[in-house]
Structure 1
Amino acid sequence: NVIHMMLNLSGDALYKRGYRKLCNSTPIKENLAAAIVLNSKWTGESPIVDPMCGSGTLLIEAAMISCDKAPGLNRLKWGFQFWKKHNNNLWQDIYQTAKKRFQIGLKKCHKNYFIGYDYDSEIIKKAKINAFNAGLSTIIQFFIKNLNNLKNIYNKKEIGIILSNPPYGQRKEAENQLVGLYVQLGIVLKKYFENWQLSILSSSNFLLNFLQMQSYQKYILKNGTLNCIQKNYQIFLNNPISENNEYQNRIRKNFKKLKKWTIQEKIECFRLYNADLPNYNIIVDVYKKWIVVQEYKAPKIINCKKAHQRLCNAIYYTKEILSIDINNIILKIRKKNKNNTQYQKLFNKSNFIQIKEYHAKFLVNLTDYLDTGLFLETRLIRKLIGIISKGKDFLNLFSYTGTATVYAGLGEAKSTTSIDMSNTYIQWSMKNMLINNLTSTKHNFIQANCLDWIKKTNKKFDLIFINPPTFSNSKKMNKSFELTRDYLNVIQDLKTILRVNGNIIFSSSKHNFQINLDALNKIKLSAKNITKKTQSKDYMNNSKLYHSWIIKHTR
């Protein structure tokens, strides 16, 4: 048998220096901060600036190193102090020597070399208290400042280092919500801190790419359970923003044209830009005070570096022209859709915002999924459903988040039935109904395979809305669904549950999709194309994107 005997030398963990009584929600440990300072190759003889300083840990650790302050000098208790043979006189000699070294080092320290900025005034208060507790308040300065307003206060001859641990999407914000922050940081540093060094910690290489800089050194570190990387850069001017004005001119033009219209129509969400220019293959949607930028992955023939630079420029100029907060920009990258990947969860932040569309209210989630919970291109279809649903039994198939059902409810439908395979979307639909005060028992929600359900039900409906997927091979389905192959069979099944004077609104976002009218006539149905009538002003230049028909029984 083996017995392990251990002695507690420290008491509390050694990384706890004793000065940090207050901190933000995602602080780094003090020993990690010290490692970051040492890895940055900062010599102590040049300014050190943290543009997102939080509770000040990086600057405090840097100042402690510069002032020759022992890391545990602030600690009041040590584990060894409780040993029976602890030599307190020896310990006091060691402690007093360390204290004197700190006092000497503090006098030699440059008083204007440690500067921290943060946009949050409460966090700055905490940073100042922490610096005071560490005995460093005379040499560290903290200021309330947004990254947009960051400037270099030193003369050109004084070259220093930017040291930072910005958010990287693992705790509070989602990764796709932080792209604008990194783009802005890269642009500001190149503009005002040319020839300075930059050392930055992140767990996301994806976000670091948006700095648009080439690192010369990197270190692998652990921040708690997170695998992180620290990269060192030399900051060069290197044309931080493009001088080509085509994108910003188009954004200004579109925004001017649409802004007045959205106010008049009481619309808070709209499409601002839809790959209008060949060099900028992106989509820009406005959600109240938020911007969602969707990039279509560039084909292999396109220079990836150039495409990435254009994306960064687009993000920067969209923010500038619309005066959007840097944290209110969401980036989503669209690839060729396989297996309904647009419905898969990307993040798990559950950050919902409430928006208005005409007289309806909806909850949208801008970060967690590729789609937001609201298809903007079907806006006028929803409005039409609200107008013609009064007194009718309404069926919403592939109901998604139930936005069409909300309009039917507000339009005083006799009853509504919403069907979707996803429990997540059924629950989302119920929340959308709730915020519109549509809580009656006449509104039904069913989690089921729509295609199986319409074959089995005995119910009849006056108005049916169906916007089927282009393709689906979900495990919850008996067989795959392909729109162009299967749509006629689906319509034929819908015919059996459609009342004599009823209407089917059939919509599709498949490129150049058309209904075979002759085939419809053979099953005694007729269709009227209402695509142009249901095109909203922000989609006028994209007539091939969305198609709609009203289908009726042939008399």
Structure 2
Amino acid sequence: MSDQFEIFLTCPKGLEGLLIEEAVGLGLEEAREHTSAVRGMATMETAYRLCLWSRLANRVLLVLKRFPMKDAEDLYHGVLDIEWQDHMLNDGTLAVEFSGHGSGIDNTHFGALKVKDAIVDKLRTPQGDRPSIDKLNPDLRIHLRLDRGEAILSLDLSGHSLHQRGYRLQQGAAPLKENLAAAILIRSGWPRIAAEGGALADPMCGVGTFLVEAAMIAADMAPNLRREQWGFTAWLGHVPALWKKLHEEATERCAAGLAKPPLWIRGYEADPRLIQPGRNNVERAGLSEWIKIYQGEVGTFEPRPDQNQKGLVICNPPYGERLGDEASLLYLYQNLGERLRQACLNWEAAVFTGAPDLGKRMGIRSHKQYSFWNGALPCKLLLIKVTPDQFVTGERRTPEQRQVEREQAEVEVTDNDVAPGKYEKYNKNGNPIKPAPVVIEQPRLSEGGQMFANRLQKNLKALGKWVKREGIDCYRVYDADMPEYSMAIDLYQDWVHVQEYAAPKSIDPEKASARMFDALAAIPQALNIDKSRVVVKRRERQSGTKQYERQAAQGKFVEVNEGGVKLLVNLTDYLDTGLFLDHRPMRMRIQKEAEGKRFLNLYCYTATASVHAAKGGARSTTSVDLSKTYLDWARRNLSLNGFSDKNRLEQGDVMAWLDACRDEYDLIFIDPPTFSNSKRMEGIFDVQRDQVQLIDLAMARLAPGGVLYFSNNFRKFVLEENLTTRYAVEEITDKTIDPDFARNGKIHSAWKITAR
């Protein structure tokens, strides 16, 4: 075999430029860049060094042969022509990977089969001994790449992908591969910062991949030093003495690196479930003395061990795939920006994100951006210098104005015991000057965001007297007042519940998303609410019981007050909260009319109307709903107010229940869904189609002199005329809409129905 080999290094898309620099530094010659690969010439020593030291490559492929091929027969004979007895034993194990297509081979499995057949046929003995297939841990892993009619046959020296360092046995939901994490660290300048003794902090560290890769770079630890199984271990061309020499050198370098005083490397993670897995990964990597992981939110992490320490803050924020993630992600980025400005002055920061537009919401400009791919997802690496001149604040000022303000704010230090060197400036008398403290300003809202904030504040002021007079602490403050900001915003005491209406298809999704982020940035400032108390959901066009489907599982309830009763709302787990705010006037009407009456609440949901009826002195209440979940919630609402007796909860299909019922009621409330096809009911309920049957069944249960209130929120609903001929019907919609819903007169329709 020759002293020089052609080598292919594969890597994730976007890492080619960094990989070629690394590979040349490790001895690769005649290096050339390809898509997701680097090609060059190397000695066996360099090939081993690449396996051991490459932080960026996936695989190290040693090219055995190149040959032209026109069809499957050319492929078979080209592989058969190799002296395979120089590479493996005839009873060894084998795995074949095939990539590319053409030359009559469009199926990679078929191509791999032809390569395997040629190798097996070459090594088959007269006694029938032959290699067998082992896809997990073969003696030899062969790769054939078909490229424009040329077959490139290679031996995989790495075995398992080199990104699998062996320390990360436990991982989070969306982990970065180790070589991608290393590439991000290198591009962020960490090798330079580490060489200067700088610190590193990851405020969203997950299971610690950035931390471990950073510590290995700083400690001069070969990334694959602890790997025991290699693709060349059972290869007959393997040179054990040469490998032993390189491995011992790497071991000595690692020992020397770890003997140095460890750098300050810290990770913070909000999810308590990831803390121990992260610490376990650090321990397996042998870096427990260098890395510490703590539980903590982004807004509380403290990256500085002392005022003079500088370093790098690096993180990979979540990308967001669930309903309402827009708010949590926006505020996460805002919190990160605030923390950088407050606690990391003069540090450097690197934010790797799949949502680069959110990077603009941190309130700090990035001075460089690099494109990467995380699997199939395009991402950006935002590099930031955390200095005041990069802050995006609420007021536009020139650099000259900022300099004047800093000079004016500087004060002389009169304490003669100040430690030498503590301050860098001195006045003409030689007295030290204390620098002005850095004032952290709120990020400036965009023009659209400021306009939206102004509207919220205007609405809040307009509703203020009414809210105070009526003693209301849950109300709507905005309902798509501005068409380009299509959402509803409700206040629940000191919580904000935002429902984003899905944008029409005619609206550019990027513009809709940008407006949403503008609005979300404005809401906490305009309403003076902490960002952690803003909950966002997206409301699509509804059908059936989608509004009742579970969105999350936090199980967190907030107690609110309305008309002298206490009610439980859940702002996170369902699209609706358990309290329809627009029905407030109807509930208050029921409370006033309920004294001494038998009250029936159909499609009761969480039975808030029944609580009000009980508060108003109802003789009894009966609440019917198909959902056990909401009846349990109703039971809690009633119990919260001390109304456990004489308050029945019935689970069942309302139409079937009414048909079987023989009781009489003095006051009935019906607020049916627009459409329902629950598996627990027979057939399908459509409010427009089935209204007559529903109202007839309910009126049959109405006692003489009783009142039935019928309401629904189907905007196209039309009450059947024949109902008005048989019953006394009065539309009371206008009387059931409070000032906070006055802009949306079609939020619901309501009628008062009595017997003629």
Q: TM-score range by the shorter chain?
A: 0.7 to 0.9
The residue aligned with 2:722 is: 519
TM-superposed CA distance for 1:97, in Å, is: 8.6
The residue aligned with 1:321 is: 526
Other structure's SS at 2:707 match: strand
**Alpha-carbon distance between aligned partners in 1 of 2:251 and 2:303, rounded to the nearest angstrom:** 37
Structure 2 residue 178 is the aligned partner of structure 1 residue 38: no
Contact 2:268 2:301 in 1 (8 A): no
Structure 2 residue 474 is the aligned partner of structure 1 residue 269: yes
The residue aligned with 1:447 is: 651
Query: CA 1:181–1:149 in 2, change beyond 3 Å: closer, same or farther?
Result: farther
The residue aligned with 1:163 is: 314
Contact 1:17 1:73 in 2 (8 A): no
Query: CA 1:72–1:220 in 2, change beyond 3 Å: closer, same or farther?
Result: closer
Q: Which runs of 5+ in 1 are unaligned?
A: 7-12, 19-25, 79-90, 222-228
Map 1:390-401 to 2 at 5 A.
390-401=595-606
Question: Structure 1: which amino acid aligns with 2:372?
Answer: Q
TM-superposed CA distance for 1:532, in Å, is: 2.3
Query: CA 1:496–1:247 in 2, change beyond 3 Å: closer, same or farther?
Result: same
The residue aligned with 2:503 is: 298
Contact 2:665 2:701 in 1 (8 A): yes
TM-superposed CA distance for 1:166, in Å, is: 4.3
The residue aligned with 2:592 is: 387
Count residues with an aligned counterpart: 499
**Alpha-carbon distance between aligned partners in 1 of 2:248 and 2:370, rounded to the nearest angstrom:** 41
**Alpha-carbon distance between aligned partners in 2 of 1:344 and 1:487, rounded to the nearest angstrom:** 24
The residue aligned with 1:234 is: 382
The residue aligned with 2:678 is: 474
TM-superposed CA distance for 1:69, in Å, is: 4.8
Map 1:40-439 to 2 at 5 A.
40-42=184-186, 44-46=190-192, 48-53=200-205, 58-59=210-211, 61-69=213-221, 98=251, 101-104=254-257, 107=260, 134-136=288-290, 147=299, 163-166=314-317, 175-176=322-323, 178-186=325-333, 197-200=350-353, 216-220=371-375, 231-234=379-382, 242-244=446-448, 245-259=450-464, 261-439=466-644
Highest relative contact order (Cα 8 Å, sep 6+), 1 or 2?
A: 1
**Alpha-carbon distance between aligned partners in 1 of 2:370 and 2:543, rounded to the nearest angstrom:** 35
Contact 1:248 1:317 in 2 (8 A): yes
**Alpha-carbon distance between aligned partners in 1 of 2:287 and 2:649, rounded to the nearest angstrom:** 58
TM-superposed CA distance for 1:209, in Å, is: 7.4
The residue aligned with 2:734 is: 532
Equivalent residue in structure 2 for 1:464, among 659, 663, 668:
668
Query: CA 1:210–1:265 in 2, change beyond 3 Å: closer, same or farther?
Result: farther
TM-superposed CA distance for 1:46, in Å, is: 4.9
Query: CA 1:383–1:36 in 2, change beyond 3 Å: closer, same or farther?
Result: farther
**Alpha-carbon distance between aligned partners in 1 of 2:350 and 2:716, rounded to the nearest angstrom:** 53
**Alpha-carbon distance between aligned partners in 1 of 2:480 and 2:304, rounded to the nearest angstrom:** 37
**Alpha-carbon distance between aligned partners in 2 of 1:484 and 1:119, rounded to the nearest angstrom:** 48
TM-superposed CA distance for 1:42, in Å, is: 2.4
Structure 2 length as normaliser, TM-score?
Answer: 0.56
TM-superposed CA distance for 1:365, in Å, is: 2.0
Contact 1:385 1:407 in 2 (8 A): yes
Map 1:14-33 to 2 at 5 A.
28=172
Query: CA 1:456–1:141 in 2, change beyond 3 Å: closer, same or farther?
Result: closer
Query: CA 1:342–1:150 in 2, change beyond 3 Å: closer, same or farther?
Result: farther
1:128-159 CA distances to partner (integer Å, 9 max, x unpaired)?
Answer: 9x99982237xx89998854999999xxxx9x
Query: CA 1:209–1:242 in 2, change beyond 3 Å: closer, same or farther?
Result: closer
Other structure's SS at 1:485 match: helix
TM-superposed CA distance for 1:552, in Å, is: 1.2
Contact 2:606 2:634 in 1 (8 A): yes
The residue aligned with 1:226 is: none
Q: Which runs of 5+ in 2 are unaligned?
A: 1-131, 138-163, 194-199, 229-243, 362-368, 385-389, 393-443
TM-superposed CA distance for 1:522, in Å, is: 2.1
TM-superposed CA distance for 1:117, in Å, is: 6.4
The residue aligned with 2:33 is: none
**Alpha-carbon distance between aligned partners in 2 of 1:449 and 1:95, rounded to the nearest angstrom:** 75
Structure 2 residue 492 is the aligned partner of structure 1 residue 492: no
1:203-245 CA distances to partner (integer Å, 9 max, x unpaired)?
Answer: xx7x887557998222349xxxxxxx79442369999952233
Between 1:311-320 and 1:283-292, the stretch displaced more is 283-292
Query: CA 1:548–1:418 in 2, change beyond 3 Å: closer, same or farther?
Result: same
**Alpha-carbon distance between aligned partners in 1 of 2:565 and 2:317, rounded to the nearest angstrom:** 38
The residue aligned with 1:23 is: none
Query: CA 1:266–1:230 in 2, change beyond 3 Å: closer, same or farther?
Result: farther
Contact 1:180 1:327 in 2 (8 A): no
**Alpha-carbon distance between aligned partners in 2 of 1:522 and 1:531, rounded to the nearest angstrom:** 20
1:231-277 CA distances to partner (integer Å, 9 max, x unpaired)?
Answer: 44236999995223321110111223335544553433221110000
**Alpha-carbon distance between aligned partners in 2 of 1:72 and 1:215, rounded to the nearest angstrom:** 26
TM-superposed CA distance for 1:482, in Å, is: 2.5
Contact 2:371 2:378 in 1 (8 A): no
TM-superposed CA distance for 1:329, in Å, is: 2.3
TM-superposed CA distance for 1:504, in Å, is: 0.4
Other structure's SS at 2:505 match: coil
**Alpha-carbon distance between aligned partners in 2 of 1:64 and 1:368, rounded to the nearest angstrom:** 42
Contact 1:351 1:367 in 2 (8 A): yes
Between 1:236-245 and 1:299-308, the stretch displaced more is 236-245
The residue aligned with 1:503 is: 707
Contact 1:73 1:95 in 2 (8 A): no
Other structure's SS at 1:332 match: strand
Contact 2:605 2:630 in 1 (8 A): yes
Question: Structure 1: which amino acid aligns with 2:352?
Answer: S
**Alpha-carbon distance between aligned partners in 1 of 2:477 and 2:300, rounded to the nearest angstrom:** 23
**Alpha-carbon distance between aligned partners in 1 of 2:529 and 2:260, rounded to the nearest angstrom:** 44
TM-superposed CA distance for 1:118, in Å, is: 7.2
TM-superposed CA distance for 1:356, in Å, is: 2.2
1:52-72 CA distances to partner (integer Å, 9 max, x unpaired)?
Answer: 357977435523432235789
TM-superposed CA distance for 1:45, in Å, is: 2.8
Structure 1 length as normaliser, TM-score?
Answer: 0.74
Contact 2:266 2:303 in 1 (8 A): no
1:85-117 CA distances to partner (integer Å, 9 max, x unpaired)?
Answer: xxxxxx9xx9999587455467598x67x5666
Contact 1:295 1:333 in 2 (8 A): yes
**Alpha-carbon distance between aligned partners in 2 of 1:177 and 1:167, rounded to the nearest angstrom:** 13
**Alpha-carbon distance between aligned partners in 1 of 2:556 and 2:222, rounded to the nearest angstrom:** 43
Identity of aligned residues (%): 31
Question: Structure 1: which amino acid aligns with 2:511?
Answer: K
When the two chains are superposed, the root-mean-square deviation of aligned CA atoms in Å is 4.8
1:445-486 CA distances to partner (integer Å, 9 max, x unpaired)?
Answer: 111111122122111100000011222233334333322333
Question: Structure 1: which amino acid aligns with 2:381?
Answer: Y
**Alpha-carbon distance between aligned partners in 2 of 1:364 and 1:521, rounded to the nearest angstrom:** 37
